[in-house]
Amino acid sequence: MKKNTEKILKKIYLLSILFFLIPFLKANQITSTNSKIKENSKVKKAILLVTFGTSYNQSANVYKKIDILTKEQFQDYSVFWAYTSEKIREKLRKEGIMIDSPEDALIKLKKQNYDIVFIQSLHVIPGQEFDELSKIADKFKSEFNTIKVSPPLLNSMKDLESTAKILISKLPTERNKTDAVLFMGHGSPEHHSDLIYVAFAHVLQEHDKNIFIACVEGNPNFQKTINEIKNKQFKRVFLIPFMTVAGDHVKNDMAGDDENSWKNQIVKTGIEPIPILKGIAEYEEIINLWLEHLKKTISQEN
């Protein structure tokens, strides 16, 4: 009876979080459709894939996979990229690699006479960077016949369930049911979307009580989560990124040699950490969730 009551309370809590977020999620989808369609000329259509960015070659290869899948599934569109991180773009620029910001990419698309632009956010949650991307798109709403931002990975209860099932199916085969799993999210402490990580934690635990998620910033809190794992007397914990690619946070904050890395903090508790350096975009099934969002966004305009 007690377990059933706890389960009902958790579902009510989860639904209340998502109910709070729905107005914000819907508000962040920017759309503009102008009535002026070019006559007697071919309509030029573009997809702009936007992500935080990375300076790691291995991670950049993951983006290539996303690029290939996007071009395969949207053959009537030209595909372009932009990074939201100015720091990453500057670092790459010094290495001779030029990557556009979202705003610069849209300026170029306008100059190349594109009529329709769909922007696919490759972020995990509709957080601050997604808000900024939506604002940038809004500035260009008079420049294109159609411009619309498609939502990131976690944008509905269905997204949380689908993502959880995929990631659980991809857990290392050497992981036993008695081993804990800790996903590392980025977090967004100053933004309401931070609640999505909390909701996702509940979804994961509905599938497997030994799976946890904590964030570098925000909630669920790493220290509190580690204390919970320690109190449950796990012998091993698999550390797995809940980030698009295994970049700086994963290689340093999660699995680095610094004493404050998650790996070394877990060692101090007497638990064996097993880091897995693999971002979620390395799984084709996860990429397809983003692309399903894009298909839905495009279909709503047709």
- Give the pLDDT confidence of 172-230 residue by residue, as tens digits: 999 998 999 999 999 988 899 999 999 999 999 999 999 999 999 989 999 999 999 99
| Res 30: pLDDT | 40
Query: What CATH number does the domain containing 90 carry?
Result: 3.40.50.1400
Is residue 180 domain-shared with residue 265, that is, in the same domain? Answer: yes
Is residue 124 domain-shared with residue 228, that is, in the same domain? Answer: no
What percent of the chain shows pLDDT beyond 70?
A: 86
146-153: average pLDDT: 98
Is residue 163 domain-shared with residue 258, that is, in the same domain? Answer: yes
| Res 132: pLDDT | 96
| Res 16: pLDDT | 54
| Residue 3 domain-assigned (yes or no) | no
Q: How many angstroms separate the Cα of 194 from the Cα of each of 9, 125, 151, 189? A: 20, 8, 16, 6
| Res 96: pLDDT | 94
Is residue 131 domain-shared with residue 197, that is, in the same domain? Answer: no
φ, ψ at 136 (rounded to 5°): -65, -45
Is residue 39 domain-shared with residue 126, that is, in the same domain? Answer: yes
| Res 41: pLDDT | 58
Q: Identify residue 135 by its one-letter amino acid code.
A: K
Give the domain range for residue 28: 23-153+283-299
| Residue 242 domain-assigned (yes or no) | yes
Mean pLDDT lowest among 12-21, 130-139, 251-260: 12-21
Task: Tell the burial category of 164 from Cβ atoms under 10 Å away from its Cβ (0-12, 13-18, 19+).
Answer: buried
Token pair in block for residue 210: 């030994």
Q: How many domains does the chain have?
A: 2
pLDDT tens-digit profile of 26-56? 444 444 444 444 444 589 999 999 999 988 7
pLDDT tens-digit profile of 77-89? 999 999 999 999 9
| Res 15: pLDDT | 53
Is residue 253 domain-shared with residue 240, that is, in the same domain? Answer: yes
Is residue 30 domain-shared with residue 149, that is, in the same domain? Answer: yes
What is the value of pTM for the model shown? Answer: 0.87
Residue 142, CB-side half-sphere exposure with 13 Å CA sphere: 1
Highest mean pLDDT among 35-39, 54-58, 72-76, 257-261: 72-76
128-156: average pLDDT: 97
Mean pLDDT lowest among 72-76, 221-225, 292-296, 298-302: 298-302
Chain mean pLDDT for the chain: 89
> Other CB atoms closer than 10 Å to residue 207's CB: what's the count?
12
| Res 190: pLDDT | 85
Is residue 175 domain-shared with residue 64, that is, in the same domain? Answer: no
Is residue 145 domain-shared with residue 230, that is, in the same domain? Answer: no
Which listed residue (186, 191, 249, 293) is catalytic? 186
Q: Is the pLDDT of residue 112 over 50?
A: yes
| Res 31: pLDDT | 43
| Res 36: pLDDT | 46
| Residue 207 domain-assigned (yes or no) | yes
Contacts of 2 (CB under 8 A, 6+ apart): none
Q: Which residue has the higher pLDDT, 15 or 262?
A: 262
Is residue 124 domain-shared with residue 173, that is, in the same domain? Answer: no
Q: Is 191 a catalytic residue?
A: no
Q: Which residues pair with 46 in a beta bridge?
A: 78, 117
Is residue 149 domain-shared with residue 196, that is, in the same domain? Answer: no
Is residue 267 domain-shared with residue 290, that is, in the same domain? Answer: no
